[in-house]
Amino acid sequence: MPIFSDTYNMKKISVIKKVGLVMCSVVIAAGVFSALKAVPAAAESASGLTYGCKAAYLMDADSGECVYKLNEHQRMPIASVCKVMTLTLCLDAVAAGRVSMDEKVSVSANAAGMGGSQIYLESGYSYPLSELVKSIVVCSANDSCVAVAERVSGSEEQFVADMNKKAAELGLSNTVFANCTGLPKETQYSCAADVAVMFSNLIRHSEYFSFSRVWQEDFAHGNGRVTSMTNTNKLIKRYNGCDGGKTGFTNEAGYCLATTAKRENLRLVSVVLGADTSDNRFKSAVSMFDYGFNNFKNKIILDKTVTLNDDFELNGGKKAAYSVMPEDDCYLFCRKGDESEVTFEVTDNKVKAPVSKGQVVGRIDVYREGVLYKSVNVVSAEDVKKASYADRLKAVADGWSL
């Protein structure tokens, strides 16, 4: 079977053995990748894509390639868009098993007393964490943010410290948090480029999309009282492919928006900061999305459901070799109509039997115009048990070694 989807007419992989490693080099036939070319190092920065905003950024969510930028490193308040990091820390804690979406979170008087946008939580009452997260995503509830922060880190102060630590880990050099809500406070700022990275990191949590697609829903308080929620991200209804986002507004920050949309294999992230009206933040995001989808695409060049052309050799197994495949899909972000050379090197870790299906056994390095573009693990596509003494005798009789 081919290493790629049958969209590509690839040359046969050649296997070269060197110093205990199997290196496979794949060179695309001339003209096959006529639609692929490295994206220019400088992203578009011409005027006309945004309306009445101070800063903006558009990027491919998978590769992080910048498509459009406007004052992308300018530090400014981002209002409730700061909740992108609040949600990130919560979903990180869920993924790590430190908290559960099903658990009940007790609401403190501090959390219940938050001003601004809120879901009107009852002090002393307990709510499912999943419902609190949903209210943050859908209607930007400040009281839910503080309740979640206190549960995840013990206090909002510690949670804010954790937010800044995460920002440093993500390389957000123009971002500082002072609270988990985005309410005005000194020494709190970010920039369009940092918000794009932050939001791209958040949407790697698949659970996020179970909340972000909600348009309208009632939040039940358990005592017969309900609060109606409507998604603040109007593009969920207005733009084809939009399935997530976070709005923000204060007089200081203006109208802000971080949002994402996906069409076919391409997922884009757009950020608008400091817009003069709510309509202009959404209009700017739509304009950037249209530009991105009209001019760029993601080509799948490694398919995690397709085995490689060549098996890996195996010592001590019931078989002399076993089939392998990429652990993840790999996409190449490129301009439509452009071309580039893409090559691959596959490294065999030379593992010994037994081998389990899904076990990491090597690596594929993807090169674009000779520059390393991405590395993807290679995993075994099957289980192979260790050879018994009888298996070894039979192998010798059949003329092959284990």
Domain ranges of the chain: 14-32+303-398, 55-296
Distance CA 203, CA 212 (A): 10
Distance CA 131, CA 236 (A): 20
How many Cα atoms are found within 13 Å in the side-chain-facing hemisphere of 221? 17
Kindly report the number of other CB atoms within 10 A of residue 204's CB atom.
12
Measuring CA to CA, how many Å separate 20 from each of 313, 365, 383? 11, 18, 22
Q: pLDDT for 23-74, tens place per residue?
A: 333 333 222 222 333 344 346 554 589 999 999 999 999 999 999 999 999 9
State mean pLDDT over 374-384.
95
Active-site residue identified among 83, 234, 297, 318: 83
| pTM as predicted | 0.83
Topology of domain 55-296, per CATH? Answer: Beta-lactamase (3.40.710)
Active-site residue identified among 37, 69, 80, 200: 80
Helices 83-95 and 142-153 sit at what angle, rounded to 10 degrees? 40
Q: Which CATH number fits domain 14-32+303-398: 1.10.10.410, 3.40.50.970, 2.60.40.10, 2.60.410.10?
A: 2.60.410.10
How many Cα atoms are found within 13 Å in the side-chain-facing hemisphere of 54? 18
Checking if the pLDDT of 135 tops 90, the result is: yes
The DSSP output letter for 8 is S
Q: What b/e readout covers 266-297, taking b as 16+ CB neighbours within 10 angstroms? A: bbbbbbbbbbeeeebbbbbbbbbbebbbeebb
Q: pLDDT for 138-172, tens place per residue?
A: 999 999 999 999 999 999 999 999 999 999 999 99
Active-site residue identified among 108, 117, 135, 140: 140
Catalytic residue list contains 80: yes
Q: pLDDT for 257-294, tens place per residue?
A: 999 999 999 999 999 999 999 999 999 999 999 999 99
Catalytic residue list contains 83: yes
Distance CA 18, CA 61 (A): 36
Instruction: Mean pLDDT check: name the lowest of 74-83, 145-154, 189-198, 313-322.
Output: 313-322
